[in-house]
Structure 1
Amino acid sequence: MRRYVTTLALMAASAARAQVSDPDFIANKDIPHATGEQLFTHICQGCHMPDGRGAVGAGHYPALANNPKLAAAAYPVVMVVNGRGAMPSFGSGLSDAQIADVVNYVRTHFGNAYTDTLRAEDIKPFHPAKPPEEGM
């Protein structure tokens, strides 16, 4: 439930910034079944822009379009799961399947043609190790 609420809050904040919206998606709040494109539209494009070309202004938001760093699928996964700099971590707010879907979407759009597909089980190794619980 916490993951759902966190994801909903992130998506609502990003949707307000999004330049293109999907009113049916927002109205239905079908977040667990969001496609990679819907996740990009409502979470990522507020910073990386609808065309994936990034932006510079109050911060630096790197281009995803024609980005050779996306050739290694691990790079965007690490960025989405853990964040870095101004990029927030979405590892606890999105499911592994959602992370795989949005990374697959970005790697096959905006002039990128990286067709090796990630699955949810490919994401798990990129989550930071959790410290053991006390008393165990």
Structure 2
Amino acid sequence: MRRALAFVLLATAGAAAAQSLGDTTSNGSPGAATTSGEQTYREICQACHMAEAQGGTGPGAAPALAANPRLGDPDYVLTRILRGRAGMPAFAELLTAEQTADVANYVRTHFGNAYSTPITTADVKRLAPPPES
């Protein structure tokens, strides 16, 4: 029960942060989202994966992203962000393709990771689940 409540609270916070990201440009004015991968990480991902991507423990445990060899596979990273898994919510409908690519590239090149092959918005669109009707 507590894990389910933690998931609901996390998903709600993530949705609110993602909506906030989508409502402003990088200079804070209303318009299309143009946030950096770092900003997206800090405003959404950091709540579970922690400031230095060391992962969280306890009922809402989240895997460490720091020095994570699984991040070497771009499809692995994108699939987790877009579709979620276990306790991680899906962000396909909350983040734009650009935000998704940017945050994926950010975690792949920071926190002791050195996966320099860039992920593109085309990669995101290729793996994104079809919209629900």
TM-score by length of 1: 0.75
Q: Distance in 2 between matches of 1:7 and 1:98?
A: 17
Distance 1:68 1:29, change over 3 A: farther
Q: Alignment length, in residue pairs?
A: 117
Partner residue, 1:59:
60
Instruction: Check conservation: 2:14, 2:44, Cα contact below 8 A.
Output: no
Partner residue, 2:123:
122
Q: Distance in 2 between matches of 1:42 and 1:119?
A: 21
Moved over 3 A (4+): 6-9
Alpha-carbon distance, 1:7 to partner: 9.8
RMSD between aligned alpha carbons? 3.0
Looking at CA atoms only, which structure, 1 or 2, has the larger radius of gyration? 1
Instruction: Check conservation: 2:49, 2:64, Cα contact below 8 A.
Output: yes
In structure 1, the gaps of 5 or more residues are: 1-5, 14-24
Alpha-carbon distance, 1:41 to partner: 0.2
In structure 2, the gaps of 5 or more residues are: 1-11, 20-24
What letter is aligned with 1:28? G
Seq. identity, %: 41
Distance 1:12 1:69, change over 3 A: closer
